[in-house]
Amino acid sequence: RPGKRVLDATLGLAADAAISSYAVGKAGTVVGLEASPLLYFAVSYGLKNYVAEDADLTAALRRIQPVQALAEDYLAQCAPDSFDVVYFDPMFRHPVNGAKGMEALRPLSYEEALSAETLQLALKAAPRVVIKERSEYILREYGCEKFIGGKYSRIKYGIIKR
């Protein structure tokens, strides 16, 4: 919602951060963490320089604040309630079949699984954590109790509330 503070703890190519930035608007904040220095460099450049056909989308991209850091390191430094939501998309843990375009990024990606400690740090930084995954089973392992995603969707969102 407009004005909310979002931490995308797994920035990647910033697609989810772009949607968040568009949704929170000028009054909101989106910080995106990227663990891979090379991916961070490329995506940071794109966020500053890419011009979309839609001026509102371009503005949303410019508002994203990219940070090169491991999520657990950044979250350890956050004051309680620094954000309204922390978002994770550990997208390379279980690749989506048919996403061949993403294979070139695999060697650059940070492949460590999301840890229980990182989730606890996220719940200190925000009252809500959202995790995007391919499997509801994995989301349950993380402690999610609420799920969003269609019955036939390959993508599921799990929510953990403090």
Q: Provide the b/e sequence for 25-59 (b: ≥16 CB within 10 Å).
A: eeebbbbbbbbbeebbeebbeebeeeeeeeeebee
Residue 28: name the closest of 85, 108, 79 by CA. 85
Q: Give, for 156, the enclosing helix (H) or strand (E).
A: strand 156-161
Worst-scoring range by mean pLDDT, 8-17, 115-124, 128-137? Answer: 128-137
Tens-place pLDDT, residues 14-69: 999 999 999 999 999 999 999 999 999 999 999 999 999 999 999 999 999 999 99
CATH code of 118's domain:
3.40.50.150
Q: Hey, what are 3's tokens?
A: 């004005």
Tens-place pLDDT, residues 85-100: 999 998 655 555 555 5
pTM, entire model: 0.91
**Residue 75 belongs to what domain range?**
5-161
Query: Number of structural domains, the chain?
Result: 1
Average pLDDT, the chain: 90
